[in-house]
Structure 1
Amino acid sequence: MKRFYVIGFGALLAFDTLAQISFKLAGMHALPLQADAAWLLRLFSGPWVYGAIAGYVGAFFTWMTLLKHAPIGPAFAASHLEVVTGLLLAVPIFGERIGLLQAIGAVIIVAGILCLAQGEGDAAED
């Protein structure tokens, strides 16, 4: 069962991260923002909007599968790890910098997930 969680949450993280990064790339490549057919054509002619859709659809089905088996507390928390992976990938992909508050926030997110997972493990042993 542990292997299922590792593979499942890894897939969820990959799909969520793909969606976040693709969504930003789609927005960047569709600039300038205009409310016309040319803008929609520019948006849907690039691959990034499809990466975002695939990421969201994959994350949805992975999440539904995980909810059948995983404890809800750690599962819900772990489903938000894409905030951390998106932050980390934004450095090499978009040239962004991680500030002190962002780094602290990422550490708090990871610590919270670990605490929930540990608490769930302790509850399962009782």
Structure 2
Amino acid sequence: MKRFYLIGFALLMGFDTLTQISFKLAGNHALPVEANLAWLLRLFGEPWVYGAVLGYLGAFFTWMSLLKHAPIGPAFAASHLEVISVMALSVWLFHEPLTAAKLLGATAILAGIVCLGLAEREAAPHDSPGGA
């Protein structure tokens, strides 16, 4: 089951990251933003828009599969790992600054996932059938 979680959350993070990076790339290529049909046609002419759609679909089906088996607290927290991967890729691809606040936020996300995972592990033995 541990392998299922690792593969599942890696896939979820990959799909979510693909979605966010694809939106950024599509938006950058469709500049300037204008409220007209020409801009929409330019935007939907970008292949990155379809990468975002593919990412959303992949994330949806991966998330639904994970929710069948994973405890909701740690699963919900782990589903936000893409914030860290998108931040890292944005520094590399878009030359966005890596600030102390961003690193602190990434650390808080990781700490929250670890705390929820540990709490779930501690609660699991008490929830067994016939147990006290």
Settle same-fold status: TM greater than 0.5. Answer: yes
CA distance in 1, matches of 2:121, 2:9: 16
**Percentage identity across aligned positions?**
64
- Aligned partner of 2:49 in structure 1 is 49
| TM-score, normalised relative to structure 2 | 0.92
1:1-126 matched pairs, under 5 angstroms = 1-126=1-126
CA distance in structure 1 between the partners assigned to 2:41 and 2:2 by the alignment? 45
When normalised by structure 1's length, the TM-score is 0.96
Flag structure 2 segments of 5+ consecutive residues without an equivalent: 127-132
- Following TM superposition, the consecutive aligned residue runs of length 4 or more in structure 1 with deviations greater than 3 angstroms are none
Q: Aligned partners of 1:58, 1:89: CA distance in 2, in Å?
A: 19
CA distance in 2, matches of 1:50, 1:78: 25
CA distance in 2, matches of 1:105, 1:91: 15
CA deviations on 1:63-89 (whole Å, 9 max, x unpaired) are 011101000000000011111111011
Q: Which amino acid in 1 is paired with 2:57?
A: V
Opposite residue 85 of structure 1, the aligned amino acid is: S
Aligned Cα root-mean-square deviation (Å): 0.9
Larger radius of gyration: 2
